Amino acid sequence: MSYLEYFWKPIDETIRTRVSCRTYEDKLLTDLHKQQLLDFCKVMNKGLAGEKVRYQLVEFSAQELKEKKIAGYVLFKNARSVIVGMIDKSEFCHTSYGYVMEHVVLKATELGLGPCWEGYFDPYLIKKVQVSDSQTVPSICLV
């Protein structure tokens, strides 16, 4: 089964509606949205060169993020849910990761969530995630 079969709408329609969100509602994802995202992540489990990819959804309370600069060149407001993807290191793992994570971003868009990639992030955001020496976290996705 192709991963495209897991999208409800034509992928080109979702691509046209995708935007990077910087301000979020001050709440966690619903259980349904969490399940839908994590189910899709299970499908996107291999990079272009066969690298193993795994994901973890990390959530933060408003208090945990108080006084934290979450990521990057702008301040994100109320971003309390983060998808952290880990990929096995390889010569082309960053390209592979970009390919699979963009599909996760598109799925989040299709679900009506406001995803945003971020490659420059506070390491605090991935402290709750177990990353082995053979893996790397090229970026995170705020949702």
Q: Quote the crossing angle between the two packed helices 31-43 and 93-110, to the nearest 10°.
A: 140
Please report where in the chains the tokens 């349904």 appear, as a residue.
32
User: Using CA atoms, how far apart are residues 138 and 123, in angstroms rounded to an integer?
Assistant: 12
Per DSSP, the residues of 47-59 read -TT--BEEEEEEE
pLDDT in tens, 5-44: 777 788 788 878 887 777 677 778 899 999 999 999 999 9
User: Using CA atoms, how far apart are residues 38 and 32, in angstroms rounded to an integer?
Assistant: 10
Beta bridge partners of 52: 46
Q: Using CA of residue 10, residue 13, residue 100, residue 82, what is the dihedral sign?
A: negative
pLDDT in tens, 72-120: 545 666 677 889 999 999 999 999 999 999 999 999 999 989 888 888 7
Query: What mean pLDDT comes out for the span 39-59?
Result: 94
Q: What does pTM read for this prediction?
A: 0.85
The DSSP symbol for 85 reads E
